[in-house]
Amino acid sequence: MNTSYRSRWFDVCWCACYTLHEIDETGAYLSMENKQELYLRMNRQIQSVLEGCELPLTAMANTCAILYSELPGLNWAGFYLMHRGELVLGPFQGKVACMKIAVGKGVCGTAVATGAVQRVADVHQFPGHIACDSASQSEIVIPLSVRGEIIGVLDIDSPLLNRFDETDQQGLEETCRILMNAVDWTGGLLP
Ligand code: SME
- How many degrees, rounded to 5, is the angle at CA 175 between CA 172 and CA 180? 130
Stretch among 21-35, 74-88, 157-171 having the lowest mean pLDDT? 21-35
What is the domain partition of the chain in residue ranges?
Answer: 3-182
| Whether the Cβ atoms of residue 49 and residue 179 lie closer than 8 Å to each other | no
Q: What spacing in Å lies between the alpha carbon of 30 and ligand 1's midpoint?
A: 24
- What are the strands of the beta sheet with 118-120, ordered from one edge? 100-102, 86-94, 76-83, 149-158, 138-146, 118-120
Q: Looking at domain 3-182, what is its CATH homologous superfamily?
A: GAF domain (3.30.450.40)
pTM of the entire predicted model? 0.85
d(CA 97, CA 86): 15
Backbone angles phi and psi of 181, in degrees to 5 = -80, -25
Average pLDDT, stretch 54-78?
A: 97
Q: Would you say the CB of residue 180 lies under 6 angstroms from ligand 1?
A: no
Q: Confidence band (pLDDT; 50, 70, 90) for 187?
A: confident
Q: What spacing in Å lies between the alpha carbon of 132 and ligand 1's midpoint?
A: 6
**What atom in ligand 1 is closest to the CA of residue 126?**
9
Q: What spacing in Å lies between the alpha carbon of 8 and ligand 1's midpoint?
A: 48
pLDDT tens column, 127-175: 999 998 999 999 999 999 999 999 999 999 999 999 999 999 999 999 9
